[in-house]
Amino acid sequence: MLADSAQAVAGKLYVLGGGWSMTGPAPTPSALAIKFEVPWEAANRKHKVRIELLDSDGQPVLVPGPESPQPMLIQADLEVGRPTGLSPGTPLDSPFAINIGPLPLNPGRYEWRCTVVDANVSQSCAFTFREPPITVRIPPPQQ
């Protein structure tokens, strides 16, 4: 889910201004609120997570980097342990929140793609970055 801000605390997601799919024209901070549901048999081991911002052609979005533009990419490890007393076979929730500063995007359609690499499972969330409004100036009447 796209949001204005998000936190993952004590197994829960706290989302502010969530559920939008259109933003801009000014760059503003945003957040990704993600709930992973980890199957019982995938618990107690590390999983590589890759979150990338793609343009409407499926190409990585480049953002300013320390030396040159680089893809907007977030990589993380996800590991969920099985709590004692949980019935075998029960899937495990793992909330994940990422707050992102303003990104210099051009007007258009984008998607955040989140992939659990070793499971080859992807989910995406698309949004539109709007164009600035057109300003029309009408000259004052001539006298």
| Residue 72 near residue 65, CB atoms below 8 Å | no
Average pLDDT over residues 14-34: 96
The confidence score (pLDDT) of residue 143 equals 73
pLDDT per position as a tens digit, 37-92: 999 999 999 999 999 999 999 999 999 989 999 999 999 999 999 999 999 999 99
The confidence score (pLDDT) of residue 111 equals 98
Portion of the chain with pLDDT greater than 70, in percent: 100
Confidence of residue 133 (pLDDT cuts 50, 70, 90): confident
Rounded Cα distance, 112 and 122, in Å = 10
Backbone angles phi, psi at 40, to 5 degrees: -50, -45
Structural domains of the chain sorted by starting position, each given as residue range(s) with its CATH number in brackets: 2-129 (2.60.40.2550)
Average pLDDT over residues 23-29: 94
Structural Rg of the chain based on CA atoms: 20
Beta partners for residue 129, in sequence order: 23, 108
| Residue 18 near residue 12, CB atoms below 8 Å | no
The confidence score (pLDDT) of residue 120 equals 87
For residue 62 the two structure tokens come to 């480049």
The confidence score (pLDDT) of residue 137 equals 83
